[in-house]
Amino acid sequence: MDLPSFLWLWKIAAWSMGGAILAYSLLLFSGSWLFYSRASKIGRPLWLGTVHWWLGVVIVFLVLLLLAIGVVGTVGYYGSLGHSNHLWAGIFVVGLVLLSAWSAMQIEAGASWARSLHISSNLVLFIGLVWVSLTGWEVVQKYL
């Protein structure tokens, strides 16, 4: 791919990563609220579950967008993939986000085991987001 500059692609990636971290933070807050209201057997606002669900859709979209940008940018710049640990960190995060989304759908379908999988995958996702952020910063330094 012979693109004149990848700067526009990096800007989209930076905003998408910032959006994904913001979405994760809001999901953590709303998910904690849902967990607390369930554990303490108090009512929760009806809108909270809907907001949590839509934030989940947003983070799935952003992570898949980041995957596409990473593949296009890396193949366009280097001609192949696998030039840093960022690829593995990204695949790890994409897998965790998709696992979390799938387990959320299982919760809605009534599977009792799915809630613990959903919560566990999101706790590990925090580590994945830190890893992908650090390795992403290393990649940005190569381009600068």
pLDDT of residue 44: 86
Element housing 108 (H / E): helix 86-108
Q: Is residue 1 in a domain? A: no
DSSP state at residue 80: S
pLDDT of residue 11: 86
Q: Is residue 127 in a domain? A: yes
What is the rounded CA–CA span in Å between residue 81 and residue 102? 27
Q: Is residue 45 in a domain? A: yes
Residue 96 amino acid letter: L
Q: Is residue 11 in a domain? A: yes
Chain centroid to Cα 78, Å, comes to 25
The pair of structure tokens assigned to 29 is 């807050």
DSSP 9-28: HHHHHHHHHHHHHHHHHHHH
pLDDT of residue 144: 63
Question: The domain containing residue 69 runs over which residues?
Answer: 7-143
* Contact (CB, 8 A) for 89 and 26: no
Q: Find the CATH number of the domain harbouring 39.
A: 1.20.120
pLDDT of residue 27: 98
Residue numbers of the chain with a pLDDT score lower than 50: 1, 3-4
Residue 68 amino acid letter: A
Q: Is residue 44 in a domain? A: yes
* Burial bucket for residue 113 (CB in 10 Å: 0-12, 13-18, 19+): exposed
Domain count, the chain: 1
pLDDT of residue 1: 47
